[in-house]
């Protein structure tokens, strides 16, 4: 009996490593793509003589594509399957990045960014789900954490390359780097099996059960097989349950609000335009703005590693309370400093405020938005509402990416940037109030307990909901 058990354990470890490779490549593709133009946008503007609006279009092309990708991911996944969708996203991403490398004008660059964004949107919608479905329980936390850390590391890689290429104005090298994780994603997804959920949807129950048996301990495989069958039966019986059911109003509102919170505290400006912000703050000597942006990325990476321990130790509400308060204070400080741009203190204060902002974001509105979405939603509506929350997130990011250069002008005017930051500070305080008012503590509570609590609260807030 020992040999079969050891063989099963070896197969499980091998699959775990392949899933780890998928998590790394998917997260890196996401991270590199969203940060690719942060430090090269000025060279692109000068080469193609872009106006502020056209500059916004080129930068936001990725976000518009990502919004389309996450909206289309559900229907495409139902037709093709999760693994096939991730493979296709990797192929599309590598081709789109290559198109950006050879772009002769702004229109081709926009199309390349749009297609690259579509691949990123599909990856963001499908990747974590596929990892969770294929991984054994003891691997799930590690894999999702690895995906988030790879995303953060991808941002830092893009910023590092930005510092390297800036003196030579070779912005096309950034998209060569952007293609690498896309190629890796296309290759690594071919090394993993189809998900049990996809196999069940295709009626291949025996293959689904075989995948569970190959990836989990026997007891866990039996439990998940029973849960998988029960879940599909429940979905078919509750298919008519609407998202406007009174018992769902609060969890749906929390999930959609969490998606908006992640985007509207100001992370989009940091991810897409921090170099322009630091330039407006007067950090112009040599590659000063690019190095300041790199320092933000480095702090983000370190803070994200630390955040893993904090999230496992402390509750969601305390971390969101402290984090959103810190975000609001740091945005307000940067806003005040930038409205008085030109003074000696403006540059150092702006950099310090951005470092505080990214640290607070890394343990609050960044990861906890997605944790809340996963925890507060009942299973029968989780996929639909999570997709809507992701669409809200990408939609809000699209507005930021498109409108920021128009509002602050190009090159950026300090006091205009400061006013935008003060707006983000006000939005952060609004989200802080809503968290304290509406969001229950979810740590160490079962999904069934949370569903009961949120259902009761929803009905209490709905006069026509009936019941106590």
In this structure, are 132 and 255 located in the same domain? no
Chosen domain end from 192, 207, 233: 192
- Put residue 341 in one of left, alpha, beta given phi > 0 → left and psi -120 to 50 → alpha: beta
3-state secondary structure of 43: helix
Both 180 and 249 in one domain: the answer is no
Degrees to nearest 5, angle at CA 202 with 201 and 207: 100
State the chain's mean pLDDT as an integer.
83
Q: How many CA atoms lie within 13 A of 34 on its CB side?
A: 32
> Whole-angstrom Cα distance, residue 453 to residue 458?
9
Question: What does the pLDDT look like over 448-461, one tens digit per residue?
Answer: 677 777 777 776 66
- Distance, in Å, from the CA atom of 459 to the CA atom of 465, rounded to the nearest integer, reads 5
Q: Does residue 433 fall inside a structural domain? A: yes
Q: Are 145 and 63 contained in the same domain?
A: yes
Q: What is the dihedral of CA 8, 13, 19, 23, to 10 degrees?
A: 160
Q: Given pLDDT bands bounded at 50, 70 and 90, which one contains residue 467? A: very low
Please determine, for residue 234, whether its predicted confidence score (pLDDT) is greater than 60.
no
Residue 465 has pLDDT above 50, yes or no: no
Residue 221 located in a structural domain: no
Q: Residue 83's CB: how many other CB atoms inside 10 A?
A: 22
163 and 255, same domain (yes or no): no
CA distance 84 to 61: 24
Residues 275 and 385 both lie in one domain: yes
Q: Is the pLDDT of residue 466 over 60?
A: no
Domain count, the chain: 2
Residue 206 counted as domain residue = no
Q: Could you list the residue range(s) of the whole structural domain that residue 167 is in? A: 8-192
Instruction: Please count the CA atoms within 13 angstroms of the CA of 29 that sit on its side-chain side.
Output: 36
- Kindly state whether residues 186 and 256 are assigned to the same domain: no
Give me 212's structure tokens.
């569970």
| Residue 21 sits in the same domain as residue 107 | yes
Percent of the chain with pLDDT over 90: 34
Is 225 among the domain residues? Answer: no
The answer to whether 258 touches 317, Cβ cutoff 8 Å, is no
Regarding whether 187 and 259 lie in a shared domain, the answer is no
Are 110 and 253 in the same domain?
Answer: no
Instruction: Check whether residue 156 and residue 290 sit in a common domain.
Output: no
Integer Cα distance of 136 and 113 in angstroms: 36
| End residue of a domain, out of 150, 175, 192 | 192
Asked whether the beta carbons of 115 and 106 are under 8 A apart, the reply is no
E strand or H helix at 173, and its extent?
helix 172-188
Residue at 202 is within a domain: no
DSSP state of 245: -
| CATH number of the domain bearing residue 17 | 1.20.1250.20
Domain-located, residue 28: yes
Domain-located, residue 210 = no
Same domain, 285 and 411: yes
Q: Is residue 158 part of a domain?
A: yes
State in Å, rounded, how far the first CA of the chain is from the last one.
Answer: 56
Position 86 scores a pLDDT of 93
Point out the domain boundary residue: 192, 223, 255: 192
**pLDDT score of 445 more than 90:** no
Residues 178 and 305 in one domain: no
For the chain, helix (H) and strand (E) counts, in that order, are: 19, 0
Q: Name the region of 443 (left: φ>0; alpha: ψ -120 to 50; beta: rest).
A: beta
Closest CA to 43 of 172, 148, 236, 131: 172
């Amino acid at each position: 009996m020992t040999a079969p058990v050891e063989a099963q354990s070896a197969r499980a470890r091998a699959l775990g490593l392949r899933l780890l490779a998928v998590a790394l490549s998917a997260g890196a593709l996401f991270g590199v793509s969203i940060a690719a133009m942060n430090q090269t946008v000025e060279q692109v503007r000068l080469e193609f003589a872009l106006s502020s609006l056209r500059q916004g279009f080129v930068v936001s092309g990725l976000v518009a594509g990502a919004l389309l990708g996450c909206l289309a991911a559900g229907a495409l996944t139902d037709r093709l399957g999760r693994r096939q969708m991730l493979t296709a996203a990797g192929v599309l991403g590598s081709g789109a990045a290559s198109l950006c490398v050879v772009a002769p004008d702004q229109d081709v660059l926009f199309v390349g960014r749009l297609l690259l964004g579509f691949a990123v949107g599909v990856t963001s919608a499908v990747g974590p789900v596929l990892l969770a479905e294929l991984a054994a329980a003891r691997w799930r936390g590690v894999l999702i954490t690895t995906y988030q850390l790879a995303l953060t590391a991808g941002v830092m890689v893009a910023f590092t390359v930005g510092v390297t290429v800036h003196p030579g104005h070779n912005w096309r090298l950034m998209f060569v780097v952007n293609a690498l994780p896309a190629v890796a994603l296309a290759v690594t997804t071919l090394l993993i099996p189809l998900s049990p959920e996809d196999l069940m949807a295709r009626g291949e129950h025996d293959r689904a059960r075989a995948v569970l048996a190959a990836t989990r301990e026997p007891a866990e495989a039996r439990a998940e097989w029973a849960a998988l069958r029960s879940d599909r039966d429940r979905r078919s019986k509750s298919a008519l349950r609407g998202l406007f059911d009174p018992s769902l109003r609060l969890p749906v509102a929390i999930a959609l609000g969490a998606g908006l919170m992640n985007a509207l505290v100001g992370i989009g400006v940091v991810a897409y335009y921090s170099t322009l912000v630091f330039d407006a703050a007067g950090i112009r000597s040599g590659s000063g703005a690019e190095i300041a942006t790199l320092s933000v990325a480095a702090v983000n990476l370190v803070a994200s590693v630390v955040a893993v321990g904090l999230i496992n130790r402390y509750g969601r509400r305390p971390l969101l309370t402290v984090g959103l308060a810190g975000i609001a204070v740091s945005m307000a400080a940067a806003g005040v400093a930038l409205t008085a741009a030109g003074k000696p203190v403006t540059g150092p204060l702006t950099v310090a405020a951005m470092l505080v902002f990214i640290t607070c974001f890394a343990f609050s509105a960044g990861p906890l938005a997605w944790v809340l979405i996963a925890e507060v939603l009942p299973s029968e509506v989780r996929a639909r509402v999570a997709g809507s929350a992701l669409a809200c997130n990408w939609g809000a990011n699209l507005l930021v990416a498109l409108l920021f250069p128009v509002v602050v002008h190009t090159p950026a005017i300090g006091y205009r940037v400061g006013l935008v930051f003060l707006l983000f500070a006000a939005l952060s305080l609004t989200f802080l109030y809503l968290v304290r008012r509406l969001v229950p503590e979810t740590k160490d509570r079962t999904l069934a307990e949370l569903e009961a609590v949120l259902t009761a609260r929803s009905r209490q807030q709905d006069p026509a909901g009936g019941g106590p």
